[in-house]
C-alpha cells in the first residue's frame, strides 16, 4: 500500500512538472493566393486574424508562383504555401490574446541579387515584458529549423538584418501552466503524511512482534 501511494504521488508531481509536448503547426497551406505574381495566381496578404493569431505585416506565396519567378524548385517544408514579410515590413509581429509557447519554425532566406543571407532575430514578450529571443540564420537552398523561446509569450517580433526571408511550419503549444502554491503545498503535505504513516506502521509492527 505504501509503495503504491508513493508511486502515485511521484507520478502526479512528474505530470505537473513535465512540459507539454509540441501541439500545433501552422503551415499556411489553407490560405488563398488570389493575386497575380507574373502570370501565376500566387500571393496574398495573410489575414490580420488567422489560426487564432494576429499577423502584422505578413504575406503568403504559393510554390508555383515562387518557382516561376525565382526559378527555385526547392520544395517547401509543408507543401504549396509559405509566409514572408510583405514589402520587407518593419514591425513584423505574430501575437495572441492567449499566452503560448513558441517552439520554432522553418526558415529560408529569400534570393537576393547580392546574395546576402539575412539573420532573423525572434523576440518574445509577455504583457510587454521581454521573455527571451532566438536567432536563426536561414539559407537559400535549404530550410532551417529555428530555436524556440523558453517561457510563455503573447507577442513575437521578427527582425531580419536585411531583405526578405521565408517561413513555414510555425510551431507552438499552449503555455504550460505553473502549479499553484496551494497545489505544491498539498503534494508536499501528502509526502509528509505518507512518511509519517510509514513510521507509524514500523513502530506498530515492532510492538506486535
Q: Where are the domains of the chain?
A: 2-9+180-208, 22-174
Residues 148 and 20: beta-carbon distance below 8 Å: no
Per the listing, cell 504575406 goes with 59
* pLDDT, position 202: 45
pLDDT recorded at residue 56:
95
Domain 22-174: CATH class, spelled out: mainly beta
Determine the angle formed by the axes of helices 181-208 and 2-17, rounding to 10 degrees: 170
Q: Which pLDDT does position 116 carry in this prediction? A: 67
Distance, CA of 67 to CA of 203 (rounded, Å) = 79
Distance CA 152, CA 131 (A): 8
Question: What pLDDT is stored for residue 194 in this prediction?
Answer: 39
Task: Split the chain (209 residues) into runs of 10 and give each run's mean pLDDT.
Answer: 43 40 85 87 93 96 88 87 82 95 94 70 97 91 92 96 88 72 44 41 41
Q: What is residue 16's predicted lDDT score, i.e. its pLDDT?
A: 39
pTM as predicted: 0.73
Amino acid at each position: 500500500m505504501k509503495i503504491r501511494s508513493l508511486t502515485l504521488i511521484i507520478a502526479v508531481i512528474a505530470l505537473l512538472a513535465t512540459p507539454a509536448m509540441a501541439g500545433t503547426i501552422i503551415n499556411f497551406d489553407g490560405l488563398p493566393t488570389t493575386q497575380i505574381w507574373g502570370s501565376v495566381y500566387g500571393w496574398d496578404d495573410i489575414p490580420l486574424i488567422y489560426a487564432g493569431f494576429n499577423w502584422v505585416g505578413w504575406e503568403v506565396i504559393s510554390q508555383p508562383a515562387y518557382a516561376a519567378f525565382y526559378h527555385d524548385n526547392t520544395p517547401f517544408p509543408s507543401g504549396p504555401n509559405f509566409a514572408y514579410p510583405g514589402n520587407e515590413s518593419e514591425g513584423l509581429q505574430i501575437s495572441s490574446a492567449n499566452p503560448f509557447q513558441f517552439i520554432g519554425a522553418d526558415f529560408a532566406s529569400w534570393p537576393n541579387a547580392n546574395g546576402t543571407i539575412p539573420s532573423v532575430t525572434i523576440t518574445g514578450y509577455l504583457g510587454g515584458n521581454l521573455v527571451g529571443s532566438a536567432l536563426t540564420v536561414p539559407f537559400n537552398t535549404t530550410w532551417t529549423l529555428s530555436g524556440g523561446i523558453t517561457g510563455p509569450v503573447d507577442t513575437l517580433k521578427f527582425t531580419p538584418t536585411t531583405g526578405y526571408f521565408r517561413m513555414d511550419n510555425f510551431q507552438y503549444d499552449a503555455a504550460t501552466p505553473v502549479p499553484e502554491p496551494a497545489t505544491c503545498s498539498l503534494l508536499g503535505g501528502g509526502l509528509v503524511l505518507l512518511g509519517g504513516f510509514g513510521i507509524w506502521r514500523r513502530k506498530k509492527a515492532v510492538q506486535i512482534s
